[in-house]
Amino acid sequence: MKLTTNLRLLTERHSDEREFANYLLVVGNDTVDKKTLYPIEFINKRTPPGFPPHILKLKKKCCIMVLRNLDATNGHCNGTRYIIVSLHDHVTDAEVASGPYTESTLLIPRIPHVSREMEFPFTFTRKQFPVKEAFALTCNKTFEQVGIYLPTQFFSHGQLYVALSSV
């Protein structure tokens, strides 16, 4: 639901869309080279927790969420929502969408994300902007947000309570 809602709302925005493909830096580990065992297409389809997607589609004035702490002392933390001001090849300029740091802006660079061997039988490093579209959020990210869209039932016990107690 969340992914399709984000993509639908992104296509409805009336500005130029840009696609940012990641830079796959390293595949493998010290003992065995896994490049020949796992094709690049297989790795690009995987999005571990906390990783941005392989292909990131962004537009000006699009709502995004940062996936890691970039400057915690100034409120630029994991889960903070931003509005994109400008898009460049190696940096994105964004403004805080709501909260105590509303007038604050942030230059978001492409950052290396390193997978853990617990998730895959190999490690890889993906260099991408640490953001994802955030028109729609998961239940656990709805704290201090405006509303909730519930087209279907929640999957696990307790999520509805979290969502309703957050509004």
Q: What is the pLDDT of residues 37-82, one digit of tens each?
A: 677 787 788 777 778 888 888 888 888 889 889 888 888 888 888 9
Higher pLDDT, 115 or 15: 115
Under DSSP, is residue 120 helix (H, G, I), strand (E, B) or coil?
A: coil
Which residues face 108 on adjacent strands? Answer: 92
Whether the CB-CB separation of 67 and 134 falls below 8 Å is answered with no
The residue ranges of DSSP E strands in the chain, in sequence order, are 17-21, 23-28, 55-59, 63-66, 81-87, 91-96, 105-109, 111-114, 123-128, 131-133
* The Cα angle at residue 140 between residues 51 and 131, in degrees rounded to 5: 30
Confidence band of 93 (pLDDT split at 50, 70, 90): very high
* DSSP 8-state assignment for residue 51: P
What is d(CA 124, CA 114) in angstroms, rounded to the nearest whole number? 6
CA atoms within 13 A on the CB side of 156: 6
Whether the CB-CB separation of 94 and 76 falls below 8 Å is answered with no
**pTM strictly above 0.75:** no
What is d(CA 39, CA 33) in angstroms, rounded to the nearest whole number? 12
Residues 143-157: pLDDT tens digits? 555 555 666 665 566
What is d(CA 165, CA 167) in angstroms, rounded to the nearest whole number? 6
Tokens of 5: 């809602």
